[in-house]
Chains A and B, each alone.
Chain A
Amino acid sequence: MKYNISVSEFIRKSENGGIDYDGFMSAFREELSKWKGHNFLRLTGDMSCQPKKGLYGLPVSVKDCICVKGMESCAGSKILKGYVPPFDATAVSRVKDEGGNIIGKTNQDEFGFGTFSTNSGYGVPKNPHDKELACGGSSGGSGGLTAALDMPHISLAESTGGSITAPAAFCGVVGLTPSYGLVSRYGLIDYANSLDKLGTIAKNVHDAALMLSVIAGHDGMDMTSLPAQRQNYLQHIDGGAKMKIGVPKEYFLNVDDEIEKNVWDAIKKLESEGASYTEISLPHTKYSLAAYYIIATSEASTNLARYCGMRYGLHGKLEGNSNEYFSNIRSEGFGQEAKRRIILGTFARMSGYREHYYIKAMRIRTLVIEDFKRAFKGVDVIAAPSMPVLPPKFSDIEKLTPLQQYQMDVLTVPANLAGIPMISVPCKNKFAGLHILGNHMQEGSVIRAAAAYEAIR
């Protein structure tokens, strides 16, 4: 089919007037319809767009937790059913300003609470390579859709503890999570404010770098937005493999053999292209999972206090006093995992437990950040497996306890705690992800390393 082209070819042809946009979008709708049963998109927009210079109407899907003006945005939760934002998130405004066509909202775990996208209030996205396998979470719709479509498309996603890396690895695509503070969180339906980061899932490193170039840069609407200039991250694509790679020994414990083999193969290939690697240690890795979940659920439990059936989302009949009304709505609207995390986070912040859990987790975060700072004095990037397992079957996920599900995030939470950039790029076995981590605000390094590997994979 004439539109089975890459994003860069789509843009190049568009620049030369070589794309009949109506015909292209008609083919795109047809392509989307083939995947309807996979639940990638929670909501499909009307896709009307006047293509203009820049992205020329490139289809861009947006994770459900990122607000799009006039498009129902629920963060995968029933408690936000019917919420139609009267404004765009800054990242969405920038995509629109650059000529992107927002095609719809991708399915996700409710508020990002999950590693497999099995906790959505709107059906479970299924892996496009095998419907019995999970897409990964929480940006599962973004990962699945990106892998499925054989046409130009990029997805705007979000990560708190690994929600871009997990679906990218499980679906065999590229997931880029930028540094904390590089992309504005304005218009994001928060999970945990000190951890949330908007990023992108794309077919390849080029497309991820392109989207980052569109959405990154300071925004006065987000008080944690860093004073970063907007820049063209595509300049790093052809930088080559000559770099120092650190390989943390702690990241290969309890990792599936096939993944370990693929990741080492990737590191050796980079070495053959001029990279050097050295084993490093990130000694506080083993504390990261606990610290992450205490911090994330503590912040989530306060963020989710705002949902009470009064101003937006799920409504009820105004009966009883405020406590009774709010409790009834919240009990109806939140799913089981959301309730579990609210209870855990509320507990961790309670008087008598706060120092033991919440403050201790924040102290551990300092040690994790220092681990990375020390490591990056000697290496340019860190390479490790993205996930410890290959994409699991839904039937196996059902058997896992909540703790066992949380443990799947063991390789992604340290970098997310530290707010450093990371990219997951498929290995030779597409279900095994190579995770490349960089120092804070060094997106160019991770893009360069990922592109160098992608070119020789």
Chain B
Amino acid sequence: MKIDSDTIKHIASLARLNITAAEARQYQKDIEEILKAFEILNSMPSESEPSFQPVPVEAALREDEKEECISRDAALSNTKHKEKGFFRGPRVV
């Protein structure tokens, strides 16, 4: 699998990461080496059902009852960006 540094920059931007041209070149080299080795996956024909979990997970349902949860103050205790009991974020546009 060939992958160029522009593709790496595009993926980084999708993942909200700023990377320099030098970082893009390094990641391109690393990831190309990794993907080349991982091509072994496609040398194995398999139509098995994909296992999204290692064991089957049943739907974990519970009664829809009100339960105690953390307070608003506790939820906001780790942010510097808060106002009037809400998180304050950057502008959207």
Contact = CB atoms under 8 A, between A and B. Distances in A.
B79 A339 contact: no
A350 B81 contact: no
B18 A357 contact: no
A84 B78 contact: yes
Contacts of A419: 53-55
Contacts of A181: 55, 57
Contact of B38 (A83, A290, A330): A290
A86 B75 CA distance: 8
A417 B50 contact: no
Interface in A278-311: 284, 286-287, 290-291, 293-294, 301, 305, 308, 310-311
Given A318-B90, A406-B34, A313 B27 contact: no
A350 B52 CA distance: 17
Given A83-B78, A321-B91, A363 B48 contact: yes
Interface string B43-68: 01011111111110100101000000
B51 A315 contact: no
Given A321-B90, A331-B18, A365 B54 contact: yes
Overall SS of chain A's interface: helix
A85 to B, nearest CB: 8
A340 B27 contact: yes
A16 interface: no
Contacts of B55: 179-181, 226, 419, 440
A328 interface: yes
B49 A366 contact: yes
A350 B42 contact: no
Contacts, number: 175
B40 A318 contact: no
Given A313-B78, A322-B89, A291 B41 contact: yes
A359 interface: yes
Given A360-B42, A401-B33, A321 B92 contact: yes
A456 interface: no
A326 interface: yes
Nearest to B37: A403
B87 A310 contact: yes
Interface in A343-363: 343-344, 346-347, 350, 356-357, 359-363
B89 A403 contact: no
Given A180-B55, A318-B89, A323 B16 contact: yes
A325 interface: yes
Given A343-B11, A363-B46, A417-B54, A327 B90 contact: no
Interface size class of A (residues with CB under 8 A): 35 or more
Contacts of B8: 343
Nearest to A441: B55
Given A284-B44, A402-B34, A325 B90 contact: yes
A313 B16 CA distance: 17
Given A330-B17, A359-B50, A440-B55, A324 B90 contact: yes
Given A321-B91, A328-B18, A343-B17, A311 B78 contact: yes
- In the complex, which of the residues A226, A312, A343 has the most CB atoms of chain B within 10 Å of its own CB atom? A343
Contact of B41 (A319, A360, A440): A360
Contacts of A418: 54
Interface string A181-200: 10000000000001100000
B41 A308 contact: no
18 contacts: A87-B70, A180-B55, A287-B41, A318-B81, A318-B90, A321-B92, A322-B92, A331-B19, A340-B27, A343-B8, A343-B11, A343-B31, A344-B31, A346-B11, A347-B3, A363-B50, A366-B49, A401-B33
Given A327-B13, A369-B51, 11 more contacts: A84-B77, A315-B81, A321-B91, A327-B18, A331-B19, A339-B17, A343-B15, A362-B51, A363-B46, A402-B34, A440-B54
Interface of A: 82-84, 86-87, 179-181, 194-195, 220, 223-226, 284, 286-287, 290-291, 293-294, 301, 305, 308, 310-313, 315, 318-328, 330-331, 334, 339-340, 342-344, 346-347, 350, 356-357, 359-367, 369-370, 401-403, 406, 417-420, 440
